[in-house]
Structure 1
Amino acid sequence: MDLRIEGLGVDIGGRSLLRELSLDVPSGEVVGLVGPNGSGKSTALRCVYRALRPVAGTVRIGGDDISGLPVRDSARRVAALTQDGSVDLDFTVEEVVALGRAPHLRGNQALGARERALCAAAMERLGIGHLARRGVLTLSGGERQRVLLARALVQEPEILVLDEPTNHLDVRHQVEVLSRLRGAGLTVLVVLHDLNLAAAACDRLGVLSRGRLVASGTPAEVLTEELVAEVFGVAATVVPHPLTGDPQLLYSLLPTP
């Protein structure tokens, strides 16, 4: 299922956070949003999972304007892992993961055999099966992040929206999580701060600066030394990864004028 963002604009408190943002996320691809802090990346994601209503533009899923879909329908089609995702009550890990099935169930309908199998498979896939009976408030930040990602996956979405999914994860789990995203067969829109991880994990990148899309394309097309200096304010040497050929950035500070 493809995702299309068309001419999106967001104004909050008299400030323009997004201006005329248009971006295509083809079916089955992983597209990353990168840019400096405050460039509008998280704001764009909030419009996709309907936490924020834009003042202009449209978000389409498979051609359907999401603003016209019933909330339950859009929740079945789009799953989100947000930066501020948290669990305030001490549910067990398996209880939190099971919440991902809520859009597919009615009222207090109990999980069936298929739902329980989906939850178990998602926990094993993310390496948290052994934590199933643990309370989430007893977990480390990285463990909790993987629980929330498992909850999003058991939702069986057509589109997965992720805001900094590698937050709190060590290097091993960062690589594992992003590798699994590439192999999941889902349409994924993800915000990442680490440009080297973004280059390795994403089919295409969109670069935001001050609420506008300033570049889009493959990582090799987008991550140039000139763009990194202009948008991120750092000097970088771009080299190919010795195994994959993906662009990798070696940073140095720009000279002080």
Structure 2
Amino acid sequence: MRLRLDAVSVEIDGATLVEKLSLAAAEGEVVALVGPNGSGKSTALRCVYRALRPASGAVLVDGRDITALSLRDSAQQVAALTQEAGTDLDFTVEELVALGRAPHLDGNQPLSRRERELCTEAMARLDVLHLARRGVLTLSGGERQRVLIARALVQEPSVLVLDEPTNHLDIRHQVELLALLRSAGPTVLVVLHDLNLAAAACDRVVVLSRGALVAAGPPHEVLTPELIHEVFGVRTSVVPHPLTGAPQVLYSLPTAVRTESRP
């Protein structure tokens, strides 16, 4: 399913957080949003999963304004993992994952056999099936993050939005998650801080700064030393990965100024 942000602007307390942002993600495409802290990435995502309403512009899913859908219908279309996602209630892992089916159920309707199998498959794909009977509050941050991603997949969304999903994950699970996103099926819009992960896993990279679009395109076109310095203020070299050819960003640390002490 196609996702498009059409000249979306967001204003809060008189401040413009996102200004006339336009971007698109084709069906099944994985698109990364990158940019410095405060550049509007999370704010843009909130418009997609309807936590915020744009001051102007529109979020379109297959050409339909998402605000024209009922909340139930939009929840069936769009699943989100937010930075604040979590639970204060001690559900078991399998109970929390099963909540992803809520938009598709009527009231207290029990899960069907297919839905139970869907939950089991999602837990297995996220490497949390062995934790199914554990209380969520007993899990590590990384384990809980993988459970929440499993819940989002169980929702069977057409569009999946994820805000820094690699937070708390070790290297293995970061790589596995990004590989999963490429094969999961939904159109994916994901906020990432790791430019190398974005380059390796995403079809296109969208760069934001101060709420505005700076660049968008395939990683090898967008992630240049010049752009990275302009947006992030750091010096880099960009080289092709020896196996995949994807751009790899090598950072140059500032040289500390040493002062010689005098007797």
Give the TM-score normalised by structure 2. 0.96
Q: Is the 8 A contact 1:94 1:119 kept in 2?
A: yes
Q: Secondary structure at the match of 2:146?
A: helix
Q: Secondary structure at the match of 2:213?
A: strand
The one-character-per-residue Cα deviations of 1:27-74 (angstroms, maximum 9, x if unpaired) are 110000000000000000000000001101000001110010000000
Q: Secondary structure at the match of 1:111?
A: coil
Q: What is the match of residue 132 of structure 2? A: 132
Q: Is the 8 A contact 1:33 1:192 kept in 2?
A: yes
Letter in 2 for 1:66: I
Q: What is the match of residue 64 of structure 2? A: 64
Unaligned segments of structure 2, at least 5 residues: 257-263
Query: How do residues 1-257 of structure 1 correspond to structure 2 at under 5 angstroms?
Result: 1-253=1-253
If you compute each CA radius of gyration, which structure gives the higher value, 1 or 2? 2
246-255 vs 157-166, greater mean Cα deviation: 246-255
Unaligned segments of structure 1, at least 5 residues: none
Q: Is the 8 A contact 1:207 1:216 kept in 2?
A: yes
- Offset of residue 184 of structure 1: 1.2
- Offset of residue 115 of structure 1: 1.0
* Number of aligned residues: 257
Q: Secondary structure at the match of 1:10?
A: strand
Counterpart Cα distance in 1 of 2:106 and 2:40: 35
Please report the RMSD computed on the Cα atoms of aligned residues, expressed in angstroms.
1.1
Letter in 2 for 1:221: E
Identity rate, percent: 71
Structure 1 runs (4+) deviating above 3 angstroms are 253-256
Letter in 1 for 2:118: L
Q: Secondary structure at the match of 2:21?
A: strand
Q: Is the 8 A contact 1:81 1:165 kept in 2?
A: yes
Letter in 2 for 1:169: L
The one-character-per-residue Cα deviations of 1:75-115 (angstroms, maximum 9, x if unpaired) are 00000000110111000000000000000001111111111
Counterpart Cα distance in 2 of 1:97 and 1:20: 36
Counterpart Cα distance in 1 of 2:77 and 2:116: 20
Letter in 1 for 2:234: V
Give the TM-score normalised by structure 1. 0.98
- Offset of residue 255 of structure 1: 6.9
